[in-house]
Structure 1
Amino acid sequence: MGEAAYITGLQHVGIPTNDLEATIAFYTSLGFEVALRTGNPKADEQVCFLTLGNLCIETYENGCAVGKPGAVDHIALNVTDIEGAFREAKRAGRTLLDQEVQFLPFWEKGVRFFTILGPNGEKVEFCQKL
């Protein structure tokens, strides 16, 4: 079956920042709207999701953004069944960065996700909004 059976499209692109306010100002000047502003208690980071049409950027202030080309941290794929996708990723022998499905209290009911490593060192997150 494979992970593709659970993927419905791009969920978001993760961009770390050292200045959340400047990042929000930049993207809103391009027409993006703040969809959710919250915190990630596990990482002690402030987080903002910005949307424009069907594009979503998750930016988070982590104090260690590299600030040069190649600085996008991850892409997240929207999935319909996080447990099924996780099972398939393990079966396929993917390099798992999370040993179990994670949870964060983002959005109304939270999100469940896990991350794998791509062939170029990129992080690919599988994400299901609850």
Structure 2
Amino acid sequence: MREEEKLSNNIEVKGLAHIGIPTSDLEKSIAFYQDLGFQIIVDQEGMEGNNFIFMECGGVIIGLPQSLDETVRSQAGTKGDGNIDHFALLVDDLDKTKKVLEEKGVPFAIPGVSTTEAWRPKSCRCIMVYGPDRVKIEFVELK
């Protein structure tokens, strides 16, 4: 990629926000990650079609959504080896990030800006794009 095409010149990534790992059995997943030292930091039931658990260990945050739809839930882990849905990067200015991605023609996985109540009392806005090989990358602004 030529220097003038680099996204990093215009997007200021602060760090990894979380890794999203859909689960078919939330309690089993919680127990597994707790055995590794992860602690629950967010527990939201029935939000956006999922029960959401976010867990943290050593600064690494994983999101464990369990779909309320039994058909969708049964498909968790069926993509082959592993089932990481996306990774999320922290940014300070989501509007600027969105504009840069649009200008570069990066395809959006979900149109527009989404919000979630998962991080209450903080405000959370995010966008989701496709990277190479259709890897989903979420950009998250927490305030």
> Same fold by TM-score, threshold 0.5 exceeded?
yes
Question: How far is the alpha carbon of 1:66 from its aligned partner?
Answer: 2.4
Distance in 2 of aligned mates of 1:94 and 1:40: 31
1:31 aligns with 2:37: yes
TM-score (norm 2): 0.83
Counterpart of 1:50 (choices 30, 47, 55) is 55
Q: Residue 21 of structure 2 aligns to a residue in which SS?
A: strand
Change (3 A) 1:47 1:83: same
Superposition pairs of residues 61-76 of structure 1, within 5 angstroms? 61-62=66-67, 63=73, 64-67=75-78, 68-76=80-88
1:126 corresponds to: 139
Structure 1: runs of 5 or more not aligned: none
The total of aligned residue pairs comes to 129
Cα distance in 1 for residues equivalent to 2:76 and 2:52:
14
What is the root-mean-square deviation in Å for CA atoms of aligned residues?
1.6
Aligned-pair identity in percent equals 29
**TM (normalized to structure 1)?**
0.91
Deviation beyond 2 Å, 4+ runs, structure 1: 1-6, 39-42
The whole-number CA distance in structure 1 between the counterparts of 2:45 and 2:133 is 29
